[in-house]
Amino acid sequence: AVLFRTGCCALPTGSRASVQPVLRALLAAPWPSQRALRSWLQLLSVLQWVLSFLLLGIVSLLLLIYLVFTRFWPISALYLAWIIFDWDTPEKGGRRLPCLRQWCVWRHFRDYFPVKLVKTHDLSPSHNYIIGSHPHGILCVGAFCNFVTGSTGFGEMFPGIRPFLTTLAGNFRLPVFREYLMSGGLCPVTRRAIGYLLSKNGTGNAVAIVIGGAAESLSCRPGVTTLILKNRKGFVRMALQHGAYLVPSFSFGENDLFRQVVFEEGSWMRSIQRRFQKMMGFAPCVFYGRGLTSVRSRGFLPYARPITTVVGEPVTVPKIEEPSCEMVDMYHEMYVRSLLKLFNENKTKYGLSEADELRIL
């Protein structure tokens, strides 16, 4: 056989002839367009976020338990010691990392839906604020993107204001996941953690609370705007105790990201969801979104639907250390009126019709 030599390599001429068409075919193949590449980056950014929130804590916990029974057990022992030493940090403002909030991955995450933040009034850095975030939806995409990441320009729109987002306290007991949450500015939705941010962290703090919580997620479905708010008054009492202004915000499009199987009130499945919610703090929703490879397949990724979060006018709140029930009711009613005004003034701008109403239960 005749050999073709280049340097130290030798290929039979027949093999060379068979490789050339393959190389020509590869060079002639169309490269992904910039638009297709951006779409994949956006999809991957959402995938990593969903997997992080659904699996990071549980997988980390199982891994540390597994390591206990191997020669790498000191890793688990050291991390356990660290958690004991660092136990109260989430309740004292956390440990936010500005660099993580500015990751380029969050810009791709924002553009997937896309998510947009709309400012209607200024927030003065000389005050503290409680921002009511509505609705809960399934995974609180709007609240996370606007108040945890810097991708929608919160810092530029509200200079001097540090946003924090509250979530279930149990999330901060999961290894590794707690570090991930704190680095983005999340804190437990407890009186102690919120009170610390509103009283011992200076001014210019905006604590976002998804007031409807797990109960509201059970009613989340496209075309229905129902909020669990009528008897949720603890955030108003805390605002009065610390003199924090109340700010309503509404994420239009949040309920359109997933399809949920909604069980009727009184059904046995609904009762199971309610009991699980009371025991664990969150509700097991039966929902689905799009698949990884196609929007027509079913999976756990949210659909690409636009989300517009509108931040409304602050409700001025005095500082009263021991507010009466009548005082709490009065400011709660003022907050609800401000939220309804915000919803009605913006609903037709962001995908709803004039006939759509906000139901408050």
What is the chain's mean pLDDT, rounded?
88
**pLDDT, tens only, 208-233:** 999 998 778 777 666 668 899 999 99
- With contact defined as beta carbons under 8 Å apart, do 356 and 225 qualify? yes
Note whether residue 132 is domain-resident.
Answer: yes
Note whether residue 61 is domain-resident.
Answer: yes
pTM for the predicted model, two decimal places: 0.86
Six-digit token pair at 230?
Answer: 């009528």
**pLDDT, tens only, 222-267:** 666 889 999 999 999 999 999 999 999 999 999 899 887 766 666 6
CB neighbourhood size of 19 (10 A) = 11
Which pLDDT does position 191 carry in this prediction? 95
Q: Long-range contacts: 2-8, Cβ < 8 Å, 24+?
A: none
Range(s) of the domain holding residue 62: 35-360
Flag whether pLDDT at 7 surpasses 50: no
**pLDDT, tens only, 135-166:** 998 889 999 999 999 999 999 999 999 999 99
Note whether residue 24 is domain-resident.
Answer: no
Note whether residue 13 is domain-resident.
Answer: no
Task: Please report, as a single letter, which amino acid is at residue 243.
Answer: G
**pLDDT, tens only, 165-208:** 999 999 999 999 999 999 999 999 999 999 999 998 899 999 99
CA distance 311 to 65: 43
Q: Could you please report the per-residue DSSP string of 60-124?
A: HHHHHHHHHTSTTHHHHHHHHHHHHHTTTGGGGT----HHHHT-HHHHHHHHHTTEEEEE-S---
Query: Is 267 in a helix, a strand, or coil?
Result: coil
CA distance 338 to 332: 10
Flag whether pLDDT at 19 surpasses 90: no
Which candidate, 218, 206, 248, 253, places its Cα nearest to that of 350? 253
Flag whether pLDDT at 28 surpasses 50: yes
User: In this predicted model, which residue has the larger pLDDT, 24 or 44?
Assistant: 44
Which pLDDT does position 283 carry in this prediction? 62
Note whether residue 82 is domain-resident.
Answer: yes
Q: Which residues have a Cβ under 8 Å from the Cβ of 257 and sit 6 or more positions away?
A: 113, 137, 138, 139, 141, 289, 302, 303, 305, 307
Note whether residue 5 is domain-resident.
Answer: no
Q: Give the number of domains in the chain.
A: 1
Note whether residue 233 is domain-resident.
Answer: yes
Give 12's strand partners: 3
Note whether residue 22 is domain-resident.
Answer: no
Flag whether pLDDT at 15 surpasses 60: no
**pLDDT, tens only, 280-312:** 655 667 778 999 888 888 888 999 999 999 999
